[in-house]
Amino acid sequence: RLKPLNRLQVILQHLKMCKHTDSTAEVLLEKRGGAGIITLNRPRTLNALNFSMIQQIYPQIKTWEQDPETFLIIIKGTGGKAFCAGGDIRAITDAGKVGDRLSQDFFREEYILNNAIGTCRKPYVALIDGITMGGGVGLSVHGHFRVATEKTLFAMPETAIGLFPDVGGGYFLPRLSGKIGYYLALTGFRLKGRDVLKAGIATHFVESEKLPALEKDLIALKSPSTENIADLLNSYHGKSKVDQEKEFVLDEHMEKINSLFSANSMEEIVKKLKQDGSPFAIKQLETISKMSPTSLKITLRQLREGASMSLQDVLMMEYRLSQACMRGHDFYEGVRAVLIDKDQSPRWKPAALEEVSDEFVDDCFKPLGTNDLKL
C-alpha cells in the first residue's frame, strides 16, 4: 500500500495532470511520444491569448527544453476556426484604464514567452491552421517550423487599434523579402492560405485535413533530429496540391510595394502613394487614412530600427512602445471603435500624421529604467 504522503503526492500529481488535460482548461499541455503538445483551448474567443495561458505555456516550454525525452514541441489551436486570433486586448484595455499592473505584466510576460520560442533549443512546430493574428503570430513565427493550411488567415492589424505590430514584429517583418513586411505592418493587409508561405511567414503548407495525420507522424518519430522533422514536414508539404498553381497575391504589386513603402517617413510614403495615383496606391491611401497616425509613425520607426537588431533588442524596444501606448489615447480609442462599440470610426488624437511630432515619437522609444524588459 502507498504511504499516506506518497498517496497524497500521487493524487496531487493526478489532479495536476487532469487540470492540464481537462477539456475546460484554457490551454492543454501534454506529452505524447517524444513530443510536448501545447493546445490553445479557448475556441469561443478564437483562442485569444490571455495572461494565465502565457503563465502556463512559458514554464512548460522551459521544462520540455531541459527534458532529454522531449524531442520537439507542437503548438496548435482547437475549434477549427483559429490558431490564435491575438492577445486578450479587452483585458489589457480594462487594466490600462485603471492603471492596473496587468497592462505592464501582460506585455512583459508575453514578450518573454516570444523570446523563449525564438531561442528554444528543441524544434518548435506551430500548426497555424485558421486565423493567426497579433499575439498568435508571436506564438508561432519565431519557432523553427510554421505550417500553414488553406484556412490560415494571417494579419498584423494593430495600427487599426492604436497599437503597433508587436510580439517581435519589429524583428520578423523587416526581414521578409522587399518591403512586404512594411506593407503588412502599416496597412494590416491579410494574407490567406498558401500566400502566408509565399510571403515567407510560414515554412510549410499542408492541407488542413492532413494535420491530424501529420501530428501523429511527428509524435511517432523516434528521437528525431531537426532534420528528421524537416524531412517529415517536407514530405507532407510536397504532397499538398491545394492552390499550388496560384500566383502570390502580392506578386503584381511587388514593384510598387518595394518603391512606395521604402520611404524614410510616413509623410513621404503618403506623398509617394498620392503621386503614384494607381488604383493600388489609392486603395493603400484609403486604408492608411483610417489608421492611428501615432501608430503608423511608431510602426515605421520600429521596423526600420528592428531590421538590424537582435530579437531580444527588438522585444525590449517593443516593451517600451507598449507602455507608451498604454499611457496614450489612441489604443483605448481604437479598441473602443473596433472591439467595443464597433462603430469603426475612431477619433485619433492627434488626427493627422503632421501633428505627431518627432519628439513625441522619440519619447515612445525612451528607456524605462528599472521597468525595462529584461531578457
Catalytic residues: 87, 135, 158, 166
Signed CA dihedral, 336, 115, 215, 10: sign only: negative
For 264, other C-beta atoms within 10 Å of its C-beta total 10
Tell the residue number behind the cell numbers 462603430, with chain if given.
343
Q: At what angle do helices 211-220 and 226-239 cross, to 10 degrees?
A: 160
361: left (phi over 0), alpha (psi -120 to 50) or beta: alpha
The one-character DSSP state at 57 is H
15 burial level (CB within 10 Å; 0-12, 13-18, 19+): exposed
> Within 10 A of 323 (CB to CB), how many other CB atoms are there?
20
